[in-house]
Amino acid sequence: MAERIPSHLPLSLYPIDRLRRILVIGFCLLVLLVTSGLLITGWHGYRNALEAERSQLGSLSRVLAAHFSQVFRASTGQLMSLTRSEEVQALLAKRNEAALHDVLRDALMLDPQSNFLTVADRHGDVVATSMVYPVHQLDIRGREVFESLRRNPAQAFLFGRPVANRINQHQFVPMAAPIESGGRLHGVVMAGIDPGFFQAFYRTLGIDDDTAIDLLQQDGTRLISFPEQSLAQTTSPQRARIVSGLIRDRREGGLFESVLDGDTRLVAIAPLEKLPLVVSVSRSKSRALAGWWAEMLSKGLLLALTMAGLTALLLVLLAQLKRLERSERRLRLTQNSVDNSAELVLWVFADGTVSYANREATRCLARNDEILIGRRIGSLMPQLEPDRWRALYLRGLDRQSELFECTLRLADGTEVAAEVTSSVLVRETGETVMCLQARDISARRRTEAALAASEARLRLALEASDTALYEMDLSSGKIVLTGSVLRRFGLHSSHLELPLEAWFAHLHEEDRARVEAEFTGWQRVPPERVESTHRVNVRNGETRWVQARGQFVDPDVLGRPQRLIGTINDVTAQKLNEARIEYYARFDALTGLANRYALYQHLSHAIDEAEVQERPIGVLFIDLDNFKNINDSLGHAVGDEVLKAVAGRLDEFIGPDDTLARLGGDEFLIILPGATEQGAGEVASCIVTAMSVPFRVGERELSTTPSIGISLYPRDGIEADHLIRNADAAMYQAKGRGRNTFQFYSSDMNDRAAERLELEVQLRTAHLRGELCLHYQPQVDAISGRIVGAEALMRWQHPEYGMISPGRFIPIAEESGLIVQIGDWAIREACRQAVVWQRQGLEPITVAVNLSGRQFQQPNFVAQVADALVETGLAPQWLELEVTESIVMHDVRQVIATLSELKQLGVQLSIDDFGTGYSSLSYLKRFPVDLLKIDQSFVRDLENDDSDAAIVRAVISLGKHLNLRLVAEGVETEGQFAFLQAAGVDLIQGFWFSRPLLAEDFAARLRDDQAEARVADLAG
């Protein structure tokens, strides 16, 4: 009995692995040591280079600081002597320009670093300058130094940011000092420091081009730079912090790094003595370290070459070790491959006894420690009884390798199907054995059974689905169809075979020729996959859509396919859905009109024809006025009916070549090919007239009016998008002119629209930037003449456009919804200011704030008012909220509920602009309000218009009977005041007493008024 083949030796040699590890670790340590030495040397060199640069830049900054201090002491001394000169003050008071001009020219001769000297009065108007005579209406208002001195005249002098001279446009650095007495500003003397004076001095120093010298303000702003640069007011946050600290502590700043103008530079800063200025000397860090970089580069290159040589040597050694190891591994793998095979391997002698079994065979066929060697092959493979085994063995001797299936008996007694490969091996001794390689194919058998079951399920699924299978024999021209869906196509069976011509005859007449041509082309050059969608005729005259997909298979020796197999699907429902989608892609689902997509197609086509025929096109953009009110009050169902009725009425004005489309919402557009300006205007006028007739929806008669914008091709645009956009802009202009009208486009409309959009964007954060403020107009007791209240009026101080009137930005805020945000800010700011006045010792007064309709209708409005009172600490009786008649007459029940909640907070309520709306007196008595404000439109002409006077008396009488206080606004003349006082008005407000004031000015006015009242009370 043969011995079992011994198990394999270790697959790697320990000495080879250890030698390889020693070589790699030694090389890595060498690289680490050399690299560390280079890095340490480089670091010391880096520190030395920076220290040398620190010393050089620091010395230069101190020298320049001393020089600049001496230069600017002369300039500031000259400036201070002029501001204290009694002669200058007298000449300024007399506005003697000629004499002042001479004085300034003489002083300028003693100040070589200045371009000019200028004297301006306390309003900023230039009285005299050394540059020209006479001045001719020159001012320095808006200059930074002047505005700062006007706010704080106690400052000795100021330096400003570099600006351009308004006479010759030359750049200068302004330095100004106040002419003042007793804290009152009388004028300003300003010197224009010439940057060129200092830059010429810099050139004499012989400084290299990389060294930059900057004279800086406390906030880090450049005043004078070298080399010459644009005097851009760039400020580095790091530099600003360091500069501020240096000026505060009067110390030298040393050397630091900063990214200035996109370049990392080494900067030394030194302060000027007794001046809020510093000198900054900087040099590019890369230039300063250029020598160090060159030295490090040469050392690094030498190290790299050395390491490359050592690495090559190491790689050669490792390659030799790898080849030695690979030879040893191949030997052991050959010995081990059979023993570790995933298949069962048995070597069997001619007598049928097992001479060798690999590990997998032992694991599967032997129990525990049972030895397979010596067992009969028939006990392991029952089909190989002795006779069959001998026949198999003899065939193997003839070098015949066989593949057969048999049963394999496992160690637990179970039998599995196996696939066996037999072959004869000759051992080194000359003895022959048969090698049997067995593979368990029970899983494959199960897979095949599952596949058969799956095919059966597929047939069942086809019977229940909208899919049929087909197989076409290209040589015979016959097609086999299978699937119950075939009956839906008018065929009598779910499985039939028929000639290809018979199937083609079943196709729809309009599709038959196309499908036959497609099939012919496929046969000529067979594609990878084929697909065709067409119609088939059903017996009852109906047609159905089918989609056939397939693939050519079974190529012959020439590569030509012999069969075409695939599926046929009923896609009738899909085609109907696609048709429906195509319709809705071009037409509006609600009105049936063309939609936006179709509109652009029609308009582009009309433009192409108009260009050829040289004729105009009219485009009418129609928007329904206040249509949102119908949706909000009656619901969208009623709104949809109104839109359909509007579409029907507009359709009456559409000719055969015209197009009517709905863009969405309540917007419609009409294209009028060939329409001139007169023709388009006539159509628009007819539409406005026709739309004045109410629409009947159910039991209701509803009205809506159109605002129409008109653009004309080619005058207002040659592209569809431009024409529509310009018509839209004209429509908004029509809305701005009162609605229910039409307006032709003009080129300035886009400018106004762009300006409006820009204001809207900036208005969103204006209060966060501190641009919004409140002005306060006094409300005066009509009897005593004392200030008892104030109305808070919003103002916008725009940094570019100046003061923007509320008439410009309040409508924008209303339309965009920003009014809610800034309205909430106005309430909080007014409450805060009222508390500030009280803490300043002023007696409390009522502060009134106007409310917008959208703000008042917010669900959390009452909570916002309560939060404002709590956050600011204002007692609620000192806050008055003004609502207009249009607000209180919208959803009266909800308005009364909101007013009642506000009244419970303790605030005062008033109805503003009373008499201009449509108030119902029956509702008025239910509103919990405290005051009525008579609109200024009645006050303005009451002296000359008896009707206005009668209305005012009636409103006053009404208010008295309802126990309401009366406020008259817009009082501008003494006659108006006398009339209102005699008629019984409680409070007066208007320009006759005071314009709206800033909070500080109002506080001063109120303080004087209350002081006069206290004196009068003591005197009484």
Tell me what pLDDT residue 687 has. Answer: 92
Closest by CA to 792, choosing from 1007, 997, 1004, is: 997
Tell me what pLDDT residue 891 has. Answer: 65
Strand, coil or helix: what is 907? coil
Q: Which two structure tokens, joined as six digits, stand for 447?
A: 């897979």
**Which comes out higher in pLDDT, residue 379 or 866?**
866
Q: Rounded distance, CA 444 to CA 446, Å? A: 5
Confidence of residue 1 (pLDDT cuts 50, 70, 90): very low
Tell me what pLDDT residue 950 has. Answer: 85
**Residue 707 neighbours by CB under 8 Å, 6+ apart:** 622, 623, 625, 731, 732, 734, 735, 739, 740, 741, 742
Tell me what pLDDT residue 249 has. Answer: 53
Q: Which two structure tokens, joined as six digits, stand for 580?
A: 């429906």
**Which comes out higher in pLDDT, residue 449 or 908?**
908
Architecture of domain 345-441: 2-Layer Sandwich (3.30)
**Residue 120 neighbours by CB under 8 Å, 6+ apart:** 126, 127, 139, 140, 146, 187, 188, 190
**Which comes out higher in pLDDT, residue 506 or 191?**
191
Confidence of residue 476 (pLDDT cuts 50, 70, 90): confident
Confidence of residue 6 (pLDDT cuts 50, 70, 90): very low
Tell me what pLDDT residue 219 has. Answer: 75
CATH number of 585-744: 3.30.70.270
Tell me what pLDDT residue 253 has. Answer: 54
Confidence of residue 606 (pLDDT cuts 50, 70, 90): very high
Q: Which two structure tokens, joined as six digits, stand for 504?
A: 């083609």
**Which comes out higher in pLDDT, residue 19 or 752?**
19
Confidence of residue 232 (pLDDT cuts 50, 70, 90): very low
Residue 665 has pLDDT above 60, yes or no: yes
Q: Rounded distance, CA 780 to CA 767, Å? A: 29
Tell me what pLDDT residue 85 has. Answer: 86
Tell me what pLDDT residue 152 has. Answer: 86
Phi, psi for 404 (deg, rounded to 5): -145, 165
CATH number of 50-297: 3.30.450.20
Confidence of residue 537 (pLDDT cuts 50, 70, 90): confident
Tell me what pLDDT residue 836 has. Answer: 95
Closest by CA to 777, choosing from 606, 1006, 438, 554, is: 1006
Q: What is the dihedral of CA 727, 732, 737, 738, to 10 degrees?
A: 120
Residues in a beta bridge with 55: none
> Which DSSP symbol is given to 370?
-
Q: Most confidently modeled of 15-19, 256-260, 305-309, 805-809?
A: 305-309
| 8 Å CB contact between 58 and 268 | yes
Q: Per residue in 333-372, pLDDT tens?
A: 766 777 777 788 888 888 889 888 888 888 888 876 567 8
Residue 759 has pLDDT above 90, yes or no: no
Closest by CA to 381, choosing from 412, 350, 416, 430, is: 416
Alpha-helix runs per DSSP H in 211-347: 237-249, 285-288, 290-337
Average pLDDT over residues 877-894: 79
Tell me what pLDDT residue 875 has. Answer: 94
Closest by CA to 750, choosing from 727, 720, 781, 779, is: 727
Confidence of residue 252 (pLDDT cuts 50, 70, 90): low
Q: Which two structure tokens, joined as six digits, stand for 614?
A: 């040289």
Average pLDDT over residues 706-726: 91
Q: Per residue in 179-229, pLDDT tens?
A: 888 778 889 999 888 888 877 777 777 777 778 888 888 777 888 887 765
Alpha-helix runs per DSSP H in 764-910: 806-816, 818-839, 853-856, 861-872, 885-888, 892-905
Confidence of residue 893 (pLDDT cuts 50, 70, 90): confident
**Which comes out higher in pLDDT, residue 13 or 846?**
846
Tell me what pLDDT residue 67 has. Answer: 84
Domain boundaries, the chain: 50-297, 345-441, 456-576, 585-744, 768-1016
Phi, psi for 711 (deg, rounded to 5): -125, 155
For all residues of the chain together, what is the average pLDDT?
A: 82
Residue 443 has pLDDT above 50, yes or no: yes
Average pLDDT over residues 839-864: 90
**Which comes out higher in pLDDT, residue 506 or 464?**
506
Confidence of residue 872 (pLDDT cuts 50, 70, 90): very high
Tell me what pLDDT residue 518 has. Answer: 83
Average pLDDT over residues 969-993: 90
Q: Rounded distance, CA 988 to CA 471, Å? A: 99
Residue 848 has pLDDT above 90, yes or no: yes
Other CB atoms within a 10 A radius of the CB of residue 261 amount to 12
| 8 Å CB contact between 335 and 356 | no
345-441 against 585-744: fold identical: no
Q: Rounded distance, CA 520 to CA 477, Å? A: 12
Average pLDDT over residues 656-665: 90
Average pLDDT over residues 764-791: 89
Q: Per residue in 403-412, pLDDT tens?
A: 888 888 888 8
Average pLDDT over residues 552-562: 80
Fold of 456-576: Beta-Lactamase (3.30.450)
**Which comes out higher in pLDDT, residue 243 or 187?**
187
Q: Which two structure tokens, joined as six digits, stand for 935?
A: 């609109």
Cis status, amide bond into 811, omega within 30 of 0: no
Tell me what pLDDT residue 1005 has. Answer: 93
Residue 236 has pLDDT above 80, yes or no: no
Average pLDDT over residues 746-771: 75
Residue 235 has pLDDT above 60, yes or no: no
The burial class, CB within 10 Å (0-12 / 13-18 / 19+), for 350 is middle
Average pLDDT over residues 389-412: 84
Residue 7 has pLDDT above 60, yes or no: no
Average pLDDT over residues 448-465: 68
Residue 241 has pLDDT above 70, yes or no: no
Tell me what pLDDT residue 868 has. Answer: 93
Tell me what pLDDT residue 272 has. Answer: 84
Average pLDDT over residues 514-541: 81
Share of the chain above pLDDT 70, in %: 89
Average pLDDT over residues 884-912: 82
Tell me what pLDDT residue 877 has. Answer: 94
Tell me what pLDDT residue 427 has. Answer: 66
**Which comes out higher in pLDDT, residue 921 or 125?**
125
Tell me what pLDDT residue 47 has. Answer: 83
Tell me what pLDDT residue 484 has. Answer: 63
Q: Rounded distance, CA 233 to CA 258, Å? A: 17
Tell me what pLDDT residue 695 has. Answer: 87
Q: Per residue in 809-838, pLDDT tens?
A: 887 777 777 888 888 999 999 999 999 999
Share of the chain above pLDDT 90, in %: 17
Q: Per residue in 303-328, pLDDT tens?
A: 888 888 888 888 888 888 787 777 66
258-to-225, 262, 433, 997 alpha-carbon distances in Å: 17, 9, 86, 46
Residue 525 has pLDDT above 60, yes or no: yes
CATH number of 768-1016: 3.20.20.450
